[in-house]
Amino acid sequence: MNKNKEPDTSFFVSGSSNIRVEKLSKSFFGTTVLNNVDLEFSSGEIHGLVGQNGAGKSTLGKIIGGHYQLSSGTIYLNDKKITKWSSKLALDNGIAMIHQELALVPGMTVYENIFLGIEENTFGVLNKKNYKLFEDLDKRIGFNLDPNKKIHDLRIADQQKVEIVRALARNANVIIMDEPTSSLTNDEVKKLHDLMIKLKKSGYLIIYVSHFLDAILEVCDRVSILRDGNLIRSGDIKNENKTSIVEAMLGTKQEVAFPSKKINAEVKKTVLNLSNIKTANGVNNVNLKIHKGEIVGLLGLVGSGRTEILRSIFGLDKIINGTIEFLDEKITPNKPQDTIKKGIVMIPEDRRKQGLVLTQNTKSNISITDLKKVSKNQIINSGKEISLVKELITLLDIKPNEVDGNIAFYSGGNQQKVLFAKWIFSSPNLILLDEPTRGIDIGAKRKIYELINNLSEEGVSILLVSSELEEVMGLADRAYLVKNGETINEVVPNKTSIDDILFELFDAKKELINE
């Protein structure tokens, strides 16, 4: 193949799928999340959907993908009115959806997940046709996935890649992508955008739901802006910029700003001290300190060991060397239950699988961490429980403002607020935060930033991991650079430039490659 030629797009299935929705509305348990939306999507375009969490963008995508039923209105596919719709019928008609909350089978391999339900087999034995298709897909997309690796052994970024390949393997010509880049590195995002452009040139329709406005502006042809379930406007991306989109999303002229922080009088009191920590899961030599009321960040490339450091403190990964001192006491975190009792809690990256019980209501999810606080003689005082939960719902501005809300249908931002409320309820001394704003929009981010800052001012210590470098630099009092499972340097964000941090991080990556 001549390397100077344009990428071969003939591999991708082309087709024509134009979608139109008229007067589309959707309600959950009496709460309207979409209100009389009229919108068109055309083949051969990348169409962005933006809005705050709860604006209805993901719900609209799920209705088109057949995962939710509309409450009223009409959907047209290629000018044909749809009367019956489901995820299977949508897929049969060439519409696939990549969910923000990944829908993979953890115990199965990459290969098995990609072809689940569409396997080519002879008398129950898989034939070579699927293997050839996988090789072609992976080669042309460039994700370099190991087909035999189990899903539960993959980081979330690689799980998102599996979802993308899974959609393409099903010959879809409409792909709805709901926050597909929330855990990807900049290089991986570029590869995904290149792939989306190739698909668009082959006649695909890509519906791109994202809170990363730079990505929307870079790759989309059109953008539709939603607020509180209403379509504010829809048009060519060339007529928009980040400021105009944010103002339409929020209804006001606002930007993300990190809250100014008061100096904590007890900041010199050491709460956590890690010395030469090593685990079996990639942490090699970690040394760090956190003081009372201090926000400390971990800065590193994806796979550098940031999350593994949090897991070792929380008792999820076994420590094989080094010491941890917490509140002047040497501790050995063996399991999360013991760590929580000591006042250390962790808000994980994957809120749906690791943080929330989606079959329980808001109240149960929040109070579960400290039922003793609302019990006497092992009998729960329902009045006290409801009162304390209501205080947190109001404090965090959780919507809907209901103690018995069904959180399975909450927006990502409001689910994240419930997760924060859950651990605040137990009055912790130290919170381990792993990607606290993953998959949430600019408005919800502001609320989370204010909450983190307020907790710090009240004396709660915080260890923060975020793939958004600006987030760590904007929130943290101090930060440690992490390379290959080891803390290699300490910086003070307000005295260090982001360029300097990036140079050091990527220089570290270059050294690893040369080794």
pLDDT in tens, 263-273: 555 557 899 99
Asked if the structure places residue 403 within a domain, the reply is no
Specify whether 22 is located in the same domain as 143. Answer: yes
Return d(Cα 331, Cα 180) in angstroms, integer: 39
Flag whether pLDDT at 214 surpasses 80.
Answer: yes
Asked if the structure places residue 364 within a domain, the reply is no
Nearest to 449 by CA among 466, 436, 465, 467: 436
Asked if the structure places residue 22 within a domain, the reply is yes
pLDDT value, residue 442: 73
Specify whether 202 is located in the same domain as 241. Answer: yes
Asked if the structure places residue 324 within a domain, the reply is yes
Return d(Cα 228, Cα 58) in angstroms, integer: 12
Measured on CA atoms in the order 262, 265, 271, 276, is the torsion positive or negative?
A: positive
Specify whether 276 is located in the same domain as 326. Answer: yes
Specify whether 294 is located in the same domain as 226. Answer: no
Specify whether 280 is located in the same domain as 211. Answer: no
> For residue 215, what is the enclosing H or E element?
helix 213-219
| pLDDT winner (highest mean) among 126-140, 252-266, 342-356 | 342-356
> For residue 281, what is the enclosing H or E element?
none
Specify whether 159 is located in the same domain as 98. Answer: yes
Tens digit of pLDDT for each residue in 47-79?
999 987 678 898 999 999 999 999 999 999 999
> For residue 262, what is the enclosing H or E element?
none
Q: How would residue 379 be classed by pLDDT, with cut points 50, 70 and 90? A: confident
Q: What is the mean pLDDT of residues 269-278?
A: 94
pLDDT value, residue 16: 65
Nearest to 167 by CA among 176, 159, 158: 176
Tens digit of pLDDT for each residue in 326-339?
999 999 888 888 89
Specify whether 223 is located in the same domain as 274. Answer: no
- The two structure tokens encoding residue 359: 């079959």
Asked if the structure places residue 387 within a domain, the reply is no
Cβ(307)–Cβ(434) below 8 Å: yes
Return d(Cα 13, Cα 21) in angstroms, integer: 24
Name the DSSP letter for residue 234: E
- The two structure tokens encoding residue 6: 């344009």
Q: How would residue 375 be classed by pLDDT, with cut points 50, 70 and 90? A: confident
Q: Strands 31-41 and 295-299: what pairing?
A: unpaired
Whole-model pTM over 0.85: no
Distances (CA, A) of 185 to 61, 158, 160, 213, 300: 24, 11, 12, 16, 11
SS3 96: strand
Q: Give the range of the structural domain holding residue 28, as residue numbers without chain letter.
A: 3-250
Specify whether 200 is located in the same domain as 280. Answer: no
Which of 222, 250, 278 is the last residue in one of the domains?
250
Cβ(439)–Cβ(412) below 8 Å: yes
Specify whether 99 is located in the same domain as 221. Answer: yes
Asked if the structure places residue 413 within a domain, the reply is no
Asked if the structure places residue 423 within a domain, the reply is no
Can you give the CATH number for the domain in which 333 is found? 3.40.50.300
pLDDT value, residue 48: 96
Specify whether 167 is located in the same domain as 34. Answer: yes
Which of 188, 217, 250 is the last residue in one of the domains?
250
**Percent of the chain at pLDDT exceeding 90:** 33
Name the DSSP letter for residue 476: -
Query: Total domain count for the chain?
Result: 2
Specify whether 149 is located in the same domain as 92. Answer: yes
Asked if the structure places residue 396 within a domain, the reply is no
Specify whether 228 is located in the same domain as 275. Answer: no
Q: Strands 270-279 and 286-291: what pairing?
A: antiparallel
Which of 202, 219, 250 is the last residue in one of the domains?
250
Q: Print burial letters for 173-183: b (CB count within 10 Å at least 16), e (below 16).
A: bbbbbbbbbbb
